[in-house]
Structure 1
Amino acid sequence: MCSCFLEMEMEEMASLIGVSVPVFQFLLCFVASIPISFFHRFVPGGPIGRHMYAALTGAGLSYLSFGLSSNMHFLVSIVISYGSMLVCRKRCGLITFLLAMGYLIGCHVYYMSGDAWKEGGIDATGSMMVITLKVISCAINYNDGLLKEENLRESQKKNRLLKLPSVIEYVGYCLCCGSHFAGPVYEMKDYLDWTERKGIWTKTQKPSPSPIGATIKAVLQAGLCMAVYLHLSPQYPLSTFSGWTYKYSGFTDRLIYQYMISFTARWKYYFIWSVSEASMVLSGLGFSGWTNYSPPTPQWTRAKNVDILGVEFTKSSVEIPLAWNIHVSTWLRHYVYDRLVKKGKRPGFVQLLATQTVSAVWHGLYPGYIIFFVHSALMISGSRAIYRWQCSVPSNQRLVKKIFMLTNFAYTILVLSYSSLGFMILSMRETIKVYGSVHYIGSIAPVVLIVLGNIIKPRSSSTSRARKRQ
């Protein structure tokens, strides 16, 4: 009787915010990660006790959200990575990358996760995506521990692992306090230092920073984001594209609809990452050091996965990875983009396209994901062309510089809104249909800019400065 009443209550509460009961149940567990992360500070038993708490609470939240199968899937990825580090350290990074990513893709295909999310469902593949990045980075960093330090990049020196983590350390890292639900992704080295109170978490250096202010800010931001999404989503649903209003709208009105639908969808992600930020700040893992100015204030950049104003008012497409899903963008740079660049060579469009393709496959094998991330590579390359022209303008011609800046802003908003529809629609046929409704402007514009950028080249000195800043 009690369980039936509880189910009815959950159905009513889920309907109030316009989600399914499974999604509402996930949201409850997701929000519960905030107090669970807070209590991590007071777990007895030293580092071992904290590792146990991280592993058990993470597994418990996964079980309540998705059922027992979720932890079984997580276990497969964890065993793949840990086994490769035990058996073949010299190749463990590559082995884990191929097998863990392959297993994730298999789960995407089996569960048809994109369709499930699109229809208001939920499954464990979203959490698997985060765990996959964690196990790959840990294996690669353990692999880097064999290399000579002078041959490593700064990020490799900082994150490499000289010894194999224990099993409990590894499981705690993967499942820590529900952070695997939506990220952000963090490094094993940081997790170990935080748990063992080393590095910036050493209490003898400075008093532990208070997380209260940053947590309140993140919680308020999450509430605002959810309110904006709930207000806009009924007005600009994805079904707009199949309705009569859109069909009989003019070209400009269709572009506005595309912008508003993309704009509305982003607030859902802002809410999710704001909750994650609050959770990581409260746990202390989000702490990233003190500012240099006096008096020093604590920084929480390890917890921050999105800069809302940075996305909505970005000056160019190049800046979007620095503001959107920040830690996944950082992961892609450190473990894909940088490692595809040969020593002494400059990165180019090939490395960018390969990185965006990995990101697309990581999300799932849907045509819409591939279309979106290929467009992202084109969008960034087109934006770089505008930026190089802007940098070549003499400093005394401020009006011309501002025109280029506004052009880059408008271009980014146009192509981002256009291309992100593929990410939401997923279907090849429907995506192309929506793109065609605005004469493929978001596909043509970046290609034209890339071609013009290779024909109309700015002065070499200005170009080199622009490249350094890009």
Structure 2
Amino acid sequence: MAMEVELEPMAASIGVTVPVLRFLLCFAATVPLSFLWRIVPRCLPKHLYSAGVGVSLSYISFGLSSNMHFLVLIMIGYSSMLLFRPRCGILTFFLGFGYLIGCHVYYMSGDVWKDGGIDDTGALMVLTLKIISCSFNYNDGLLKEEEGLREAQWKYRLTKLPSLVEYIGYCLCCGSHFAGPVFEMKDYLDWTEGKGIWSKEAKGPSPSPYGATIRALIQAGFCMALYLYLVPYFPLSRFTEPIYQEWAFWKKFGYQYMSGFTARWKYYFIWSVSEASIIISGLGFSGWVNSSPPKPRWDRAKNVDILGVEFAKSSVVIPTVWNIQVSTWLRHYVYERLVQSGKKPGFFQLLATQTISAIWHGVYPGYIIFFVQSALMIAGSRAIYRWQQAMAPSMANAFVFLNFAYTLVVINYSSVGFLVLNLHETLAAFGSVYYIGTILPILMILLGKVIKPRRPARSKAQKEQ
């Protein structure tokens, strides 16, 4: 209670609630605490440190109930691997998602976040993906490469059961516990034990993380400053105000664009801080660039490519530049596993993947609408790209610009549902611009079925590639 009173003036000065400020302070603390991880002895001490810091920060941020929720999910995942290995992946998937959905409903997390509050469902979302991936990897450890394992499955499979201490350390690792990024159990074990690219025998000396960490922190500061500057001018409440309905089409459309643009900088800030935390610990290291001299890569910690999002030439690339690690998780554990052997993925796999992503975020109509819209958006963008490929170089550039403009229109229109969440408000906002962002993708998909471009001739070198 005393802490609440002491934090009230600081919270008021930056325009947030005390619970949000408490979370932000703990979130920022992951950076120095991850730095201290570097000096902790390997193996068991590192696992205990990861678990202990994760439990402590969760308790300070959300209270005792958060750790009880984490314990339930951890026990679901570990018990499934211990008792039902041949089916532990699918079992953890349904039980873990079921428990997460229950927490979303109980806390009504979307409304809490929308009103400027905070709860532990964000951390539960990250934990759910971790326990599911670990269970699938342990299940894959029973199989052999010739039995149809994909490259990612073969790379991350677990041939033996992690100890409970290792498992808890992985689940609650402080660098990614609050907001991601999600990473694999195999990488976590190699990192804590000094194996693989973290071993002394690996190429080059141990890379310095400080330059990349400082870059991520500067990026985080810029993102938060821009968000705080823009958000008073583009509040979400404006969509339900009478003045919004009085505006002309282009003003409404422009406001929708700026609302989505503004909201993204909050996520850029959060992911930049997480990136700094993962990098400073050393886990963010992902190998060396083939250059002279070799340069370290820190891709494992990267969760967003800001310029890639804002200047995306195609909707297809959005999952590769936005919430990158979750998109990778969805590809490996949903999209690819729904594709039958010998067949190509289609719209069903895309729609199913986006639906799972919607449910993972929360049981709100706005989330469902946004991710269904995303599936349509990507499918429409693919149709434009096929036309572009069939065009002569002089005409292809026009279709490049068309795909860029299409992506710009549809992504910001669709993001309104993600932000307002309520069905009535979402449909009212969409209807105010005549559902342009829904009609365009459907139109592109239908035209793609009717106007099928001829396949461009490919050189022998392209075919071999």
TM interval, short-chain normalised: over 0.9
> 1:453 aligned to 448, 457, 463, which one?
448
The separation in 2 between residues aligned to 1:402 and 1:11, in whole angstroms, is 55
Match of 1:302, SS state, is: helix
Q: In the TM superposition, what is the alpha-carbon distance from 1:148 to its structure 2 partner?
A: 1.6
Say yes or no: does 1:422 pair with 2:420. no
Count the aligned residue pairs: 459
Once the two structures are superposed, residues 176-222 of structure 1 have per-residue CA deviations (whole angstroms, 9 ceiling, x without a partner) of 12411000000000000000000000023331100010000000000
For residue 402 of structure 1, what is the aligned residue in structure 2? 397
Say yes or no: does 1:126 pair with 2:122. yes
Please tell me whether the aligned partners of residues 127 and 177 of structure 2 are also in contact (alpha carbons under 8 angstroms). Answer: yes
> 2:299 aligned to 295, 298, 301, which one?
301
Q: TM-score, length-normalised on structure 2?
A: 0.97
Residue correspondence of structure 1 range 234-249 to structure 2 within 5 A = 234-249=232-247
Q: In the TM superposition, what is the alpha-carbon distance from 1:17 to its structure 2 partner?
A: 2.0
For residue 231 of structure 1, what is the aligned residue in structure 2? 229
For residue 372 of structure 2, what is the aligned residue in structure 1? 374
The separation in 2 between residues aligned to 1:13 and 1:268, in whole angstroms, is 19
Q: In the TM superposition, what is the alpha-carbon distance from 1:461 to its structure 2 partner?
A: 4.2
The separation in 1 between residues aligned to 2:15 and 2:28, in whole angstroms, is 17
Say yes or no: does 1:433 pair with 2:431. no
Q: In the TM superposition, what is the alpha-carbon distance from 1:7 to its structure 2 partner?
A: 3.3
5+ residue gaps, structure 1: none
Amino acid of the residue matched to residue 49 of structure 2? Y
Q: In the TM superposition, what is the alpha-carbon distance from 1:462 to its structure 2 partner?
A: 6.0
> 1:64 aligned to 60, 68, 74, which one?
60
The separation in 1 between residues aligned to 2:52 and 2:217, in whole angstroms, is 25
> 1:54 aligned to 32, 50, 53, which one?
50
Match of 1:64, SS state, is: helix
Amino acid of the residue matched to residue 169 of structure 1? E
Residue correspondence of structure 1 range 156-235 to structure 2 within 5 A = 156-205=153-202, 206-235=204-233
Say yes or no: does 1:90 pair with 2:86. yes
Please tell me whether the aligned partners of residues 35 and 281 of structure 2 are also in contact (alpha carbons under 8 angstroms). Answer: yes
For residue 109 of structure 1, what is the aligned residue in structure 2? 105
For residue 443 of structure 1, what is the aligned residue in structure 2? 438
Deviates more, 1:401-410 or 1:184-193: 401-410
Q: In the TM superposition, what is the alpha-carbon distance from 1:14 to its structure 2 partner?
A: 1.3
The separation in 2 between residues aligned to 1:84 and 1:462, in whole angstroms, is 51
The separation in 1 between residues aligned to 2:89 and 2:455, in whole angstroms, is 39
Q: In the TM superposition, what is the alpha-carbon distance from 1:75 to its structure 2 partner?
A: 0.6
The separation in 2 between residues aligned to 1:320 and 1:13, in whole angstroms, is 37
Amino acid of the residue matched to residue 264 of structure 2? R
The separation in 2 between residues aligned to 1:93 and 1:41, in whole angstroms, is 32
Please tell me whether the aligned partners of residues 239 and 425 of structure 2 are also in contact (alpha carbons under 8 angstroms). Answer: no
The separation in 1 between residues aligned to 2:9 and 2:311, in whole angstroms, is 37
RMSD of the alignment, in Å? 1.5
Kindly, what percent of the aligned residue pairs are identical?
66
For residue 325 of structure 1, what is the aligned residue in structure 2? 323
Amino acid of the residue matched to residue 20 of structure 1? T
The separation in 2 between residues aligned to 1:165 and 1:243, in whole angstroms, is 54
Once the two structures are superposed, residues 5-50 of structure 1 have per-residue CA deviations (whole angstroms, 9 ceiling, x without a partner) of x534411211222211101100000000000000001013x31000
For residue 310 of structure 1, what is the aligned residue in structure 2? 308
> 1:35 aligned to 32, 36, 47, which one?
32
For residue 275 of structure 1, what is the aligned residue in structure 2? 273
5+ residue gaps, structure 2: none
Q: In the TM superposition, what is the alpha-carbon distance from 1:319 to its structure 2 partner?
A: 0.4
Deviates more, 1:421-430 or 1:8-17: 8-17
Once the two structures are superposed, residues 295-316 of structure 1 have per-residue CA deviations (whole angstroms, 9 ceiling, x without a partner) of 1100000000000000000000
Instruction: Go from structure 1 to structure 2 and tell me whether the alpha carbon gap of 1:464 and 1:97 turns closer, same or farther (over 3 Å shift).
Output: farther
Q: TM-score, length-normalised on structure 1?
A: 0.96
For residue 354 of structure 1, what is the aligned residue in structure 2? 352
For residue 22 of structure 2, what is the aligned residue in structure 1? 25
Please tell me whether the aligned partners of residues 101 and 363 of structure 2 are also in contact (alpha carbons under 8 angstroms). Answer: yes
Amino acid of the residue matched to residue 83 of structure 1? S
Instruction: Go from structure 1 to structure 2 and tell me whether the alpha carbon gap of 1:77 and 1:7 turns closer, same or farther (over 3 Å shift).
Output: closer
Deviates more, 1:202-211 or 1:135-144: 202-211
Please tell me whether the aligned partners of residues 425 and 431 of structure 1 are also in contact (alpha carbons under 8 angstroms). Answer: yes
